[in-house]
Amino acid sequence: MELWIGPAIVAAVISGLISLTGLYLGGWITIRHDRRRRREKVRDFQIALRAEIRSELHNLLSIDFDKHFEEVKSRYARQQDYSVFPSFPARHVIFEALKEEIHLLPEAVIDDIILYSRQRHAIEKFVEDMRDPRFSKLSPERQLEMYGDFIEMQKFLSETARFSVDALDKSLGTKTRISIPASGLSVP
C-alpha cells in the first residue's frame, strides 16, 4: 500500500489544493474589487446627480413664484397683446448621461430621483406647449390659467428637488447646505 501513495501522488494532491486555494482567492479578490468599484461608481453617480439637482434647486429657490405670477398678471392687465413666453429649463447633462445607470443607485434614492425627473420632464413638455404659436392665440385668461399651472409645477419641482437632494445626502452620509440666492427675476 505504501507504493500507491508515493511522492508523486502526494505532490499532485498538494498541487491541486494549492491551485484550488489560488482560484478561490483570485475569485474572492476579483469579487471584492468589483464590489468596491461598483460602490465607488454609485457614489460618484450620486455626487454628480446631487450637484446637478442642487444647482437647479438653487435656481428655483431664487424665484419668488407668487410675486412673479403677480407681475405676469399685471403685465397681462396692462398690455393687450402680451403673451408670456417661458424659457426651457437648462439641459440636465449629467442626468442624461447617467439615466441608463439609474438602476445602480440605492433603492431609497431611485424613487425621489425618478419623481423629480418626471416632474421636470412634465415641465419641459408644458413649456413646449406654451411656446407653441397656438398658445398666444388663446384668451389671456386661459394663458394665465396655464401659466399659473406652470408656476405650481415649478413649486412642486422645487419640492421634488429638495427631496432628491435630501435622499442623496442621506445615502452619501453628507449634509448639503442649500442657500437661497437673491432674486433677479424679470418677467418674460
Q: What are the pLDDT digits (tens) for 78-125?
A: 998 899 999 888 888 888 888 888 888 999 899 999 999 999 999 999
Q: What's the rounded Cα separation, in Å, for the pair 30 and 20?
A: 15
> 106 in a domain, yes or no?
yes
Residue with cell 500500500: 1
Confidence of residue 2 (pLDDT cuts 50, 70, 90): low
Residue 183: per-residue pLDDT: 47
| Cell numbers for 83 | 403673451
Average pLDDT over residues 124-141: 94
> 1 in a domain, yes or no?
no
Residue 70: per-residue pLDDT: 96
Helix (H) or strand (E) holding 141: helix 140-172
Neighbours of 40 (CB within 10 A): 10
> 160 in a domain, yes or no?
yes
Q: What is the CA radius of gyration of the chain?
A: 29
> 87 in a domain, yes or no?
yes
How many domains does one find in the chain?
Answer: 1
Confidence of residue 166 (pLDDT cuts 50, 70, 90): very high
> 105 in a domain, yes or no?
yes
> 181 in a domain, yes or no?
no
> 177 in a domain, yes or no?
no
- 98, 49 in Cβ contact below 8 A? yes
Q: Which domain holds residue 83?
A: 7-172
Average pLDDT over residues 154-170: 95
> 102 in a domain, yes or no?
yes
Confidence of residue 13 (pLDDT cuts 50, 70, 90): confident
Give the ranges where 62-106 is alpha helix by DSSP (H).
65-78, 93-98
Please indicate, yes or no, whether the overall pTM of this predicted structure exceeds 0.85.
no
- 119, 156 in Cβ contact below 8 A? yes
